[in-house]
Amino acid sequence: MKKTLLELVGSESSPVRNLVSKVWRRYAMPGARDDPQALDRLYALPDPWGMTTGREQSRFAQTNAIIREHVGHTRTILEVGSGEGHQSEYLATLCDELHGVDVSARAVERARQRVPQARFGVGTLAALPWGLPDGGKYDLVVACEVLYYMGDIDAAVVSMSKLGRCCLVTFFCPSARRVAQHVESIPGATRGWIYHDPYAWLWAYWRPS
């Protein structure tokens, strides 16, 4: 299949990959929240977030370690904001059945190719593209690096608590001012840090009452 110019200059082997990604993110998502069109436009560039970098791969592995400590291997996981399926590859090793939902059709198609054993669909927390699993809840709902793109974070946290027996969120430290206040008051939540020098992320895990 013939690649577009954007795909060529944004490929992993391109010497201008980092610059292209940075410029494209600013163009595609100029501060947009709750904007599916902007997110889908973003994914005209493959891997716009640099998920194949050592930094992100370290974050994925550390997130898995947190899940193993608090949940262990489980039956069902719902991944909110699954993107192109990069973190889904890791999450799929922790469960029997992984469902990933994202607002970008482009991203969902790539996720299906990357993790064919998982189930991906275009949708949101408020409008899943399928019914709930047996028992009416997922064993774990995760939202990694997505809450700060939602206009109503409190509503997202409430939706996660309704959908999951357990919930986990992670968010990049510079975004803590926007996100942390919405998870600090969750009853019984456990919180901690993920590090990959010089980067840091916060995480919060809770079991809805």
pLDDT in tens, 123-141: 999 999 999 999 999 999 9
Alpha-carbon distance values, 77 to 24, 67, 141 (Å): 31, 11, 6
- Please determine, for residue 32, whether its predicted confidence score (pLDDT) is greater than 70: no
**Homologous superfamily of 54-206 in CATH?**
Vaccinia Virus protein VP39 (3.40.50.150)
- pLDDT (tens digit, 9 = 90+) per residue, 61-96? 999 999 999 999 999 999 999 999 999 999 999 999
The whole model's pTM is what?
0.88
Stretch 192-198: mean pLDDT: 96
Extents of the domains making up the chain? 5-42, 54-206
pLDDT band at residue 9, thresholds of 50, 70 and 90? very low
Question: Virtual CA dihedral for 74, 188, 191, 166, nearest 10 degrees?
Answer: 20
